[in-house]
Amino acid sequence: MNIGDKIPEILGLDADGNEVKSSDFAGKPLIVYFYPKDNTPGCTAEACSIRDHNSELTAKGYTVIGISKDSSASHLKFADKFSLPFILLSDPSTEVNQAFGVWQKKKMAGREYLGTVRTTFITDADHKITHIINKVDTKKAGEQLLGLIGD
């Protein structure tokens, strides 16, 4: 996905296993962030930073949605453990990751595998992408977002 593209309609599954669509948020700008795994150090730091700035983001009209391939049950525990006030969606098939272009070849300890590349998309109220953060500062993700969306 690139700046100016409209995000896909299907965003993932909610805690009850229902499909969530971008049209469910008609007329609202979105922050859609993809992260590799619940309860890992980087993903926890990112989620907590966004949590700490969530009221400022929502005051600017944004709805925050986090997406990973973890199960809805894992998301519920993660959100509860860290008091995350925003939506976490499950993408077990990686279809949504692939539609956004964040399911890519990664390398760790000399091993190659497919996985989620941490990426954040910011949209306008028509769900066209206005900003893409490819180099997410996990400890300062909330500040990074506020710096981009401004006043």
Least confident of 30-34, 45-49, 81-85, 146-150: 146-150
- Cα–Cα distance, 33 to 145 (Å, whole number): 11
Query: What would the CATH number be for the domain defined by 27-149?
Result: 3.40.30.10
CA–CA distances in Å: residue 47 to residues 28, 40, 61, 119 = 21, 10, 19, 13
DSSP class of residue 126 equals T
Catalytic residue among 13, 31, 43, 141: 43
CA–CA distances in Å: residue 51 to residues 2, 48, 75, 100, 102 = 26, 5, 14, 23, 22
Is 43 tagged catalytic? yes
- Cα–Cα distance, 123 to 15 (Å, whole number): 23
Task: Kindly state the tokens that stand for 7.
Answer: 């995000």
Hey, where are the domains in the chain?
A: 27-149
* Cα angle, residue 118 at apex, residues 150 and 122 outer, rounded to 5°: 30
pLDDT confidence band for 17 (50 / 70 / 90) = confident
Nearest to 97 by CA among 109, 106, 84: 106
**82-108: pLDDT as tens digits:** 999 999 999 999 999 999 999 999 888
